[in-house]
Chains A and B, each alone.
Chain A
């Protein structure tokens, strides 16, 4: 009887071994490093309203010291553009160099997109660390091409959503 009892007791331990093996395998599947994007981008939609077509777009970020940081270079026929904002200040200027096709005639325009915002770190997890999220307070554009700027979504996160619409 006692040996039978010991045998009965031993049986679940074999099951336990299986469970531990399964747990180890499953837990090893769960740790693949950072799987989330950390980058929060300002997604700008470029919308024609006057029969013009945007032939190409180049863009530079302007630092507080006035230096230029290249962001886009001669992107042809763009309908959207993605920019990152300065994560350690509350104001970013982006210079837009546009070549427009106006019924066969090519014209060049230089515009500046100005964004004022609040920023804060957003903790993702131990593998990724944090992203920087932004809440846009105001946005305006200077230059001759873009007639209107609309703020569609003021909350800039690591999920892609159109934030600003530039009409030309």
Chain B
């Protein structure tokens, strides 16, 4: 119903622009009045245009499930609760889970001259948590729905993994295999620093993108190996992360 009304609104307004018609519609008049009202400078001593608790949203990161469709052997599923404080600070709490079942095509174990088993890194679905803050650069903007800014977040995950079909060739002593490493355990903590964009799509729905540099504060190390995949982080060797988020804004009227 809402989409139908939006389509009608789009269709009804286009001819007016095309014809150069100068008669404003009622909604345009209302918006212009509202804009004039908001465009006024804030009174002295008033720092924020928007109230302390300005809103709340829930969001889902769609990027990891999307790239999984292109054959990646791992995925993270996550949901985030975001508060809007003065439309400037957006504290976030994310909870999710991730798994990995990746196989190498190049490294592995040679069963015989014609058969090859690729290295397999298998980590069951494990939870992760992330918390942090988005900072809106234009927090007193009269158009509050589309904005961009900086982000800082911290993540934690505990993961377990089994690695099979390993082999090793020593320059002096020759080939050894198959080898396996079972029950690797990792506690990982990382930081994310970057930028984001959020755009309103409909009254309640928004989309967002973010790009972040993700250094490990503690990558996690087991006596028998290092993690290849960390839930919530992704592949441990990658230093950058990208997110595509669908937001549902809870308190829009």
Does A126 contact B172, Cβ atoms closer than 8 Å? no
Mark out the residues of chain A between 109 and 154 whose CB falls within 8 Å of any chain B CB in the assembled complex: 120-132
Chain A residues numbered 3-61 whose CB sits less than 8 Å from any CB in chain B: 3, 8-9, 12, 15-16, 19-20, 22-23, 26-27, 30-31, 38-39, 61
Q: Given A87-B173, A131-B168, A121 and B119 touching (CB < 8 A)?
A: no
Contact A121:B226 (CB < 8 A) given known A19-B211, A130-B168: no
Q: Which residue of A12, A86, A126, A131 contacts B104 across the interface (Cβ within 8 Å)?
A: A126
A77 contacts chain B at the CB level, 8 A cutoff: no
Q: How many residues of A contact B (CB 8 A)?
A: 39
Shortest C-beta distance, B106 to chain A (Å), equals 8
Quick check: A69 and B179 within 8 Å, CB to CB? no
Distance in angstroms from B216 CB to nearest chain A CB is 14
Q: Using an 8 Å CB-CB cutoff, how does the interface string of B109-120 with A read, 1 for contact, 0 for none?
A: 000000000010
Smallest beta-carbon distance B148→chain A, Å:
8
Q: How many interface contacts (CB-CB < 8 Å) are there between A and B?
A: 120
Q: Mark B151-189, 1 if CB is under 8 A from A, else 0.
A: 000000000000100111011110010011100100000
Residue ID in chain B nearest A26 by CB atoms:
B240
Report A-chain residues with C-beta under 8 Å of the C-beta of B179. Answer: 121, 130
B166 CB → nearest A CB, Å: 5
Q: Which residues does chain B contribute within 8 Å of A126, judged by CB atoms?
A: 102, 104, 107, 119, 121, 228
Interface contact B209-A19, CB-CB below 8 Å: yes
The answer on a CB contact under 8 Å between B199 and A69 is no
Interface check A84, CB cutoff 8 A: yes
Cα distance A82–B229 in the bound complex, in angstroms: 33
B211 lies within 8 A of A123 (CB) = no
* Residue A165 lies at the interface, judged by CB distance under 8 Å to chain B: no
**Residue of chain A at shortest CB distance from B225:** A123
A15 to B224, CA, bound (A): 43
Give the residue of A1, A12, A22, A23 whose beta carbon is less than 8 angstroms from that of B31: A1
B200 to chain A, nearest CB (A): 8
Q: Hey, what's the 0/1 contact readout for B190-215 against A, CB within 8 Å counting as 1?
A: 00000001010100000001010000
Collect the chain A residues with CB atoms within 8 Å of residue B9's CB: 2
- Is A71 close to B, CB under 8 A? yes
A88 on interface, CB distance cutoff 8 Å: yes
Is the beta-carbon distance between A12 and B10 smaller than 8 angstroms? no
CB of B14 within 8 Å of the partner chain: yes
Contact A39 B171 (CB under 8 A): yes
Q: Is B17 an interface residue (CB 8 A)?
A: yes
CB distance from B21 to the nearest CB of A (A): 12
Looking at the assembled complex, report how far the CB atom of A72 sits from the nearest CB atom of chain B, in whole angstroms. 11
Q: Does B13 contact A (CB under 8 A)?
A: yes
Determine if B239 is an interface residue (Cβ-Cβ < 8 Å): yes
Which one, A1, A2, A38, contacts B168 given CB within 8 A?
A38
Q: Please name all residues of chain A whose beta carbon is closer than 8 Å to the beta carbon of B180 when the two chains form the complex.
A: 121
If A126-B121, A130-B225 touch, whether A2 touches B104 (CB-CB below 8 Å) is no
Would A19 and B242 count as touching, CB distance under 8 A? yes
Residues of A within 8 A of B209 (CB): 12, 15-16, 19
B181 to chain A: which residues have CB within 8 Å? 120-123, 130
Expressed in whole angstroms, the minimum distance between the Cβ of A88 and any Cβ of chain B is 5
Contact of B28 with A by CB under 8 A: yes
Q: In the complex, what residues of B have CB within 8 A of residue A120's CB?
A: 181, 224
Can you list 9 A-B pairs with a CB-CB distance of less than 8 A?
Answer: A15-B197, A16-B209, A19-B211, A30-B239, A84-B171, A123-B163, A123-B184, A123-B224, A132-B176
Which residue numbers of A lie inside 8 Å of B, CB to CB? 1-3, 8-9, 12, 15-16, 19-20, 22-23, 26-27, 30-31, 38-39, 61, 69, 71, 84-88, 120-132
Query: Which B residues are closer than 8 A to A by beta carbons?
Result: 9-10, 13-14, 17, 27-28, 31, 102, 104, 106-108, 119, 121, 143, 146, 148, 163, 166-168, 170-173, 176, 179-181, 184, 197, 199, 201, 209, 211, 224-226, 228, 236-240, 242
